[in-house]
Homo-oligomer: A and B are copies of this chain.
Amino acid sequence: MASDSVPATDRGLAYGDGMFRTLQVRAGRAVHWERHVEKLAADCGRLAIACPAADVLHEDVMAVTAEQPDAAVKIIITRGIGARGYRPTIDARANRVVIATPLPVYPERYAMEGVMAHLCRIRLGTQPALAGMKHLNRLENVIARAEWEEGPYAEGILCDEQGDVISGTMTNLFILEGERLSTPDLSRCGVAGVTRALVLERAVTAGIASSIERIALDRVVRADEVFLVNSLIGLWPVRSIAGKAVRTGPMASRIRNWIDESGSPR
């Protein structure tokens, strides 16, 4: 069974040597479960962390949500206990933590009318060896999120050192230009979330052109629509960035439907 604490010698604590997922459980079902567990295994695989089997994790998720069938569930997989020193122990048994919390409640207008976004001052560093993974080294996100208080801004937009837009602090970003969807290239920094992957797949099915590429900030501000996605919020349109108005439009609700519809039960 997953534990509610980790030993002080766990490498997840010592070095952030692990991965995590955050997902919804609705009516006792883990939404987009296969996507989450595949992404978790893929991320662990990149760093040779021994990811527990999907069924084991699913049992944990069901156990922690047994008394709250609607919940946000966080799964943390660490490389396990380590001796002192950075060298990964080859035979380490991964530790896992599975936590359920109440689903966050956001104002309904975030999804309907869109959100105002802060433009983060911190720039994401470039590290291809870590880019795309949802690993436990998240101080950049912590620093970014500390830039603004609760208040007008629902999310912050992160750029890389070149000034290209990468994502929100907790979301992936898409822009619509004419009939074309684009989302930032995450091969140098950022987290490639499962909702982003889902949207890219559904765009293909729907016959909507889409691309993964470098996207400068001014292109985002001039786009026909901008939206933020993740597994907890679904989709929020963006209506301003750093006080500059951003256009909203009908594609947002269409894509939100893709995300909601495809939350098919396991």
Instruction: Report yes or no: A15 in contact with B141, Cβ–Cβ below 8 A.
Output: yes
Confirm or deny: A185 has a beta carbon within 8 angstroms of a beta carbon on chain B. Answer: no
Instruction: Report yes or no: B3 in contact with A87, Cβ–Cβ below 8 A.
Output: no
Contact flags A69-108 to B (C-beta < 8 A → 1, else 0) = 0001010101000011111100000000101010010000
CA distance A136 to B144 in the complex (A): 17
Instruction: Report yes or no: A140 in contact with B169, Cβ–Cβ below 8 A.
Output: no
- Chain B positions within 8 Å of A146 at CB level: 48, 87-88
Confirm or deny: A242 has a beta carbon within 8 angstroms of a beta carbon on chain B. Answer: no
The number of chain A residues touching the other chain, given as a range, is 35 or more
CA distance A76 to B125 in the complex (A): 24
Instruction: Report yes or no: A13 in contact with B97, Cβ–Cβ below 8 A.
Output: yes
Checking B11, B20, B125, B138 against A127 with a beta-carbon cut-off of 8 angstroms, the contacting residue is: B125
Q: How many identical subunits does the complex contain?
A: 2
Confirm or deny: A201 has a beta carbon within 8 angstroms of a beta carbon on chain B. Answer: no
CA distance A97 to B12 in the complex (A): 14
Residue among A4, A47, A88, A138 with the highest chain B CB neighbour number at 10 A = A138
CA distance A20 to B84 in the complex (A): 13
Confirm or deny: A164 has a beta carbon within 8 angstroms of a beta carbon on chain B. Answer: no
Contact flags A180-202 to B (C-beta < 8 A → 1, else 0) = 00000000010000000000000
- Chain B positions within 8 Å of A7 at CB level: 4-5
- Chain B positions within 8 Å of A9 at CB level: 99
Confirm or deny: A135 has a beta carbon within 8 angstroms of a beta carbon on chain B. Answer: yes
Known A14-B138, A139-B15, A145-B85; judge A76-B127 contact (CB<8 A).
Answer: no
CA distance A101 to B85 in the complex (A): 11
Can you pick out 13 interface pairs between chain A and chain B where the beta carbons lie within 8 Å of each other? A5-B7, A6-B8, A13-B136, A16-B137, A47-B139, A83-B101, A86-B142, A86-B145, A87-B145, A125-B125, A130-B139, A135-B139, A137-B137
Q: Which residues of A contact B (CB under 8 A)?
A: 3-17, 20, 22, 47-48, 72, 74, 76, 78, 83-88, 97, 99, 101, 104, 122, 125-127, 129-130, 135-146, 150, 161, 169-170, 189
The 3 closest A-B pairs by CB, nearest first: A16-B16, A137-B137, A125-B127
